[in-house]
Structure 1
Amino acid sequence: MTSADTSRTDAPDAPLASTVVGDGPRRVAFVHGLMGRGRNFNGIAQALSDQFTVEMIDMPDHGQSPWTDGVDYRRIADRLADHLRSGLAADGPVHLVGHSMGGKVVMALALRHPELVDRLVVVDISPRTAAAATDEFVHLLGTMLEMDLASFRTRSDADAAMAQKVPDERIRGFLLQNLRRDHGHFAWQPNVEMLLRDLEVIGSFPEPMVEADPDRTYDGPVLWIGGADSDYILDSDVPRMKELFPRAVRVTIREAGHWVHADQPGPFVDAVRHFLTQD
């Protein structure tokens, strides 16, 4: 038995939550993956803040952003585009960095709203369906929903309960970052029940992304970063990625899994900085 955090404003037109770090002349927005939050990129943002104004955005149904009734990459991209137009991109295009599910969102945004995107960084995800990843999250989100949050007095209690089904301490820490106190009891901040229901949609990549222009491509510069120890990007994904993003350049970071930016923050920052500061 679980409960939801009621501290957000879930009105359909409520703004997305975000945090801004730095005041450099270059502007970049980071979009996290499934069950993440914008502040997962805080260390990366701090490292880039000498040259960049960095916005870390909570996707819908995550963090402090509003809940919705379902996952639709086109709709999420459009909502993020509206958010950028009223803020970071008000004076022109910005750089976008998206990891995993967030990578699919920024790919969708670049295809649907190319005028908002200067340079695009896609991290450890491809424009295809990822069935294996979906299976993993069925277990993880299912475990979250099965937990009796009302019975826990401390985070350690929640961690001990989750450890019975999720033995990896690092993964537990990632999931438990979403635990919040609400009216004296623990609650999940993300829309876990809906996200579990829509995992097949999350694992997919809709085609065509732009219904009125099915052959639409994004012709700006794209850095496609993968972890050497991850299987989220396959060699067989390259042709479709190149069709949609003709200028995509693939880079693989050694000794990194799916969470590339957490596994190898130094090389990740170096790669992103080098790419985003090219004229």
Structure 2
Amino acid sequence: MVVLLHGLAGSAQEMVATATALSDGYRVLALDQRGHGHSTRRPGDVSRRAYVDDAAALIDTVVGDGPVSLVGQSMGAHTALLLAAWHPRLVQRLVLLEGGVGGGEDSSQQLGDWFASWPMPFPSRQAAVAHHDATPIAQAWAQDLQERDGGFWPRFDADVMQAAIAAVAEVARWAEWEQVQAPTLLVQAERSYLDAAEIERMLQLRPGTGHVVVPDAGHDVHLDQPQAWARLLRRYLDTGHVPSGDQSPHAG
């Protein structure tokens, strides 16, 4: 069983290609996390504990005692890291795509302002894509828009996104990172959002951790380079080994 956790302002929809690439060998679940997609739009709690509890409840309900291979991107990777630390019995293998320990500079206000600045509603999905320069993440967002009230609207609210990502920035979870027992693969983009010193320290603290950098990709690796991402993920899930040629000196 593989469980996929999307990033901030995303949804399970953007994980469909990843799930499809794994579907011939694995049962795959993709969760709309609270405040996103078809989940509760304005949850009363957007703490890190709440997000982790949701994912843990999904695994407990569907799988029972687990464990699963847990794959998260960006904020979803942070959730996955905490789940693996707090519920080790549920996680057999952990993959963090463009995700780290959190903490650091809090950009939540800027992100909240940016989401709030979108010209709502968009008259069409095509207009939404064009507004965001036709990037792969823009296409994913456009596919997930809800048609209502004379246009196309996001399935999330800017203030909820701001609060959710602010919780990630509150504290760097180094203690939780060291508590993770599951074999782990860190996947970075060539144009990564992650701090190089943070990744270096993560690898030093858990020297058996695999590390892959995907060429010609930005933060949304799974959308920018879906085939390369699917290949390396499948190889890791099938064998537990970092794909040949992409292995960092720290990978084990």
TM-score, normalization by structure 1: 0.74
Change (3 A) 1:69 1:119: same
* Alpha-carbon separation, structure 2, partners of 1:92 and 1:199: 28
Q: Which amino acid aligns with 1:218?
A: V
Q: Is the 8 A contact 1:138 1:199 kept in 2?
A: no
1:24 paired residue number: none
Quick one: which of 187, 190, 201 aligns to 1:239? 201
Question: What secondary structure sits across from 1:251 in the alignment?
Answer: strand
Residue 183 of structure 1 deviates from its aligned partner by: 6.0
Structure 1 alignment gaps of length 5 or more: 1-26
The correspondence of residues 1-279 of structure 1 with structure 2, limited to 5 A, is: 27-67=1-41, 68-87=43-62, 89-90=63-64, 92-129=66-103, 131=105, 134=108, 137-144=111-118, 147-149=119-121, 153-156=123-126, 163=131, 166=132, 168-170=133-135, 171-182=137-148, 186-205=152-171, 207=173, 217-240=179-202, 242-243=204-205, 245=206, 247-278=208-239
Percent identity between matched residues is 26
Conservation of the 8 A alpha-carbon contact between 2:68 and 2:90 = yes
SS in 1 for 2:239: coil
Runs of 4+ displaced beyond 6 Å: none
Report deviation, 1:180.
Answer: 0.7
Amino acid at match of 1:190: F
1:235: Cα distance to partner? 3.2
Q: CA RMSD in A?
A: 2.8
Deviation at 1:113, TM superposition (A): 0.5
Identify unmatched segments of 5+ residues in structure 2.
241-252
Q: When the two structures are aligned, how many residues end up with a matched partner?
A: 238
Question: Counterpart of 1:52 in 2: which secondary structure?
Answer: coil
- 2:17 corresponds to which letter in structure 1? G
